[in-house]
Structure 1
Amino acid sequence: MPETWSLRPAVQADGAFLGDMVVEAANWRPGAARPRHEILTHPDYRRYLAGWQRPGDVGVVAVVGAEPIGAAWYRMLPRTDPGFGYVGTGVPELIIGVRPMWRAHGVGRALLRNLCASARAEGRARICLSVERGNFAQVLYRAEGFAVTQSGFGRDTMVKRLA
């Protein structure tokens, strides 16, 4: 990969690409890909995208030139419509996805660090996420200070203290 990548803030126009990254995140397991439309129309995933860049939404996109290759963002989800990794009111839930050919090149780590720094700058004390057991991303999350706080059916909720 001769080109280098950089980061930029996510904007409202990135909504479709964030959808691509939700599909990448949901289909992390090789050979077990679910159809894009099935993921994007499912309420469990739609909550991470619907009305993107509403108040409280913050994100970062990794790009090569103008081409997006990965993204991380967080949303403040209500108790009445919690995400997979919901831990409480006022704790943003992070979503991250990186195109397969750019995985293991530091893109995910840079996205994660940038987004955690944004949450800290906003005064957030914690940030959470959900990861399926067996997903190689768990190693990254642990290395970046996330700890499992809840184990669910096939997935774990992880939280990082930002203070």
Structure 2
Amino acid sequence: MPGLPIRAALPSDGAFLADMTVEAATWRAGVSRPRHEIVSSAEHRRYISGWMRPGDAGFVAESPSGEPVGAAWYRMLPRDEPGFGWVGTGVPELIIGVRPVWRAHGTGRALLQRLVDHARAQGYARISLSVERDNFAVSLYRSEGFAVVRKGMGRDVMVKRLA
């Protein structure tokens, strides 16, 4: 299913980004948590609260019928409210989520590439993310040039140099 339309995320995409935060948090088959529990938790809320603040950027993939099916976005998180993948001030942290039926078809890769290109065009030297070690997306991130810079309890922080 390559070639899905990808558009810039809009301020009105906040609820969809919340859905994609849930997808990112519940990627493991057979594991589910209520949506409200994820989006209201401080650890996940920081990625979506007040969506489209200065410094936020993202992209949304749509099905041929125009339904949003995935998103990748980044935020500039402060030192006093770091995300899972925070590595430093001035380094955007990316989040990516794709609906299960659209996974493993290139949707995530296309979104990731578009977001990385945008971050580079904005002048960022690096971009970071956090991923659980057994997440199948680790191979995607490695293939796109991300490298582990910090190991954690079951999750790693990865960075891609953009310069």
Question: Under a length normalisation based on structure 1, what TM-score does the superposition of the two structures give?
Answer: 0.97
* Count of residue pairs the alignment pairs up: 162
Aligned to 1:103: 103
Partner of 1:81, secondary structure, is coil
> What SS is found at the alignment partner of 2:19?
helix
Distance 1:124 1:66 in 2: 31
Structure 2 distance, partners of 1:117, 1:31, is: 34
1:129 matched residue in structure 2? 129
Match of 1:46 in 2: 45
SS in 1 for 2:128: strand
Aligned to 1:61: 60
Q: Write out per-residue CA displacement over residues 25-81 of structure 1, whole angstroms, 9 at most, x where no aligned residue.
A: 000111111111110100000000000000000000000132100000000000000
CA distance in 2, matches of 1:5, 1:149: 32
Equivalent position amino acid for 1:98 in 2: V
User: 1:20 maps to which residue?
Assistant: 19
How far the C-alpha of 1:24 sits from its partner, in A, is: 0.2
Could you say what secondary structure the match of 2:79 adopts? coil
Distance in 1 separating the partners of 2:140 and 2:3: 21
Report the 3-state secondary structure (helix = DSSP H, G, I; strand = E; otherwise coil) of the residue aligned with 1:33. Answer: coil
Report the identity percentage. 67
Is the counterpart of residue 87 in structure 1 residue 87 in structure 2? yes
**Structure 1 residues 28-37 or 73-82, which shifts more?**
28-37
Deviation at 1:4, TM superposition (A): 5.7
Secondary structure at 1:123 match in 2: coil
Distance 2:29 2:105 in 1: 18
Task: Give ranges in structure 1 of 5+ residues lacking alignment.
Answer: none
Structure 1: distance between partners of 2:94 and 2:19: 15
Runs of 4+ in 1 over 4 A off after TM superposition: none
How far 1:83 sits from its partner (Å)? 0.1
Match of 2:130, SS? Answer: strand
- Look up the match of 2:6: 7
Distance 1:94 1:4 in 2: 22
Q: CA deviation at 1:133?
A: 1.2
